[in-house]
């Protein structure tokens, strides 16, 4: 998607630095598994004119956030400086270190993957993952993204978020991804209703035909960030209805155990889970 065309309203803000935003868009144009991008590729994906891409890329190379591909002239690769840039944020999420052993234990029990996910704009972002089944069709990894509306993790975030924040995100999705919104909103509304008595959100191969998902949000944010725990399993693991009776209770138990470790009091107002 061409993100740049959606920034006209933000650009009208006197505090909005368009050059900074364009530089970030250049970096965001890169996708996992690609060998690199040329000026034309970046321009097509961002809507930024090619001469501007060239100037921005030169600056990003000098800063260490991009590098030239030594095997092909005119092609750019992401720079290793980005790892240094992101490390302080990941390191500050102590929940990752606390939860990982428990996530790995559950991943082995269900023969799948257990991940820790947060919201990033209108997407969900992996910040930790434990995988115990290499046959999984998807290999979640730190930094990769999930769509908000068609995944268990995204729906769980919507269920756990404050009403005002949830509505703001849904409004953004309706504007920026109108077709996806129309196709998914009824399932989201069902998830919001069912969460009240289930305590989790599910994804019956709706995002990918080969993958099931179950997700549980934490009961409150940590440092203003709402974390979601997500389980992924191959759809060949069994019938979704059968897995929904066994996997979510284990995931809910993991999340509540972590909350107790953090010193959170039990939520007396929440109804028992089915």
At residue 273, the pLDDT reads 39
pLDDT at 71: 84
- Predicted local confidence at residue 3, as pLDDT: 52
Nearest-angstrom CA–CA distance, 209 and 59: 42
Give the separation between CA 172 and CA 136, rounded to whole angstroms.
31
Compute the 3-state secondary structure of the chain and give helix, strand, coil in percent, each to the nearest 5.
50, 20, 30
Domains contained in the chain, CATH given: 4-84 (1.10.10.10), 93-261 (3.30.450.40)
Question: Percent of the chain at pLDDT above 70?
Answer: 91
2 backbone dihedrals φ, ψ, rounded to 5°: -80, 100
Condensed to tens digits (0 to 9), the pLDDT of residues 152-207 reads 999 999 999 999 999 999 999 999 999 999 999 999 999 999 999 999 999 999 99
Report which of 207, 273, 196 is spatially closest to residue 240, judged by C-alpha positions: 207
pLDDT of 59 above 90:
yes
Q: What is the pLDDT of residues 63-86, one digit of tens each?
A: 999 999 888 888 999 898 887 887
Give 42's contacts (C-beta < 8 A, 6+ positions apart). 26, 29, 48, 53, 57, 76
pLDDT recorded at residue 140: 75
Residues in the chain: 274
**Mean pLDDT value of segment 244-267:** 93
């Amino acid at each position: 998607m061409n993100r740049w065309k959606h920034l006209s309203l933000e650009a009208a803000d006197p505090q909005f630095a368009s050059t900074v935003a364009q530089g970030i868009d250049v970096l965001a144009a890169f996708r996992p598994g690609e060998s690199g991008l040329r000026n034309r590729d970046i321009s097509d994906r961002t809507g930024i004119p090619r001469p501007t891409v060239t100037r921005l890329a030169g600056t990003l190379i000098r800063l260490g956030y991009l590098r030239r591909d030594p095997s092909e002239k005119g092609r750019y690769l992401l720079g290793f400086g980005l790892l240094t840039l992101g490390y302080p944020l990941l390191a500050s999420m102590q929940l990752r270190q606390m939860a990982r052993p428990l996530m790995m234990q559950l991943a082995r029990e269900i023969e799948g993957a257990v991940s820790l996910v947060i919201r990033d704009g209108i997407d969900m972002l992996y910040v930790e993952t434990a995988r115990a089944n290499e046959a999984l069709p998807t290999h979640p990894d730190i930094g990769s993204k999930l769509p908000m509306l068609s995944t268990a993790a995204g729906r769980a975030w919507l269920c756990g978020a404050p009403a005002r924040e949830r509505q703001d995100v849904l409004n953004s999705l309706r504007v920026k991804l109108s077709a996806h919104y129309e196709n998914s909103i009824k399932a989201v509304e069902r998830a919001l209703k069912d969460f009240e008595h289930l305590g989790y959100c599910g994804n019956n191969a709706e995002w990918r035909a080969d993958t099931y998902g179950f997700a549980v949000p934490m009961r409150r944010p940590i440092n203003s960030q709402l974390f979601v725990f997500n389980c992924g399993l191959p759809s060949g693991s069994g019938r979704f209805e059968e897995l929904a009776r066994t996997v979510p209770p284990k995931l809910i138990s993991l999340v509540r155990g972590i909350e107790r470790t953090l010193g959170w009091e039990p939520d007396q107002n929440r109804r028992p889970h089915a």
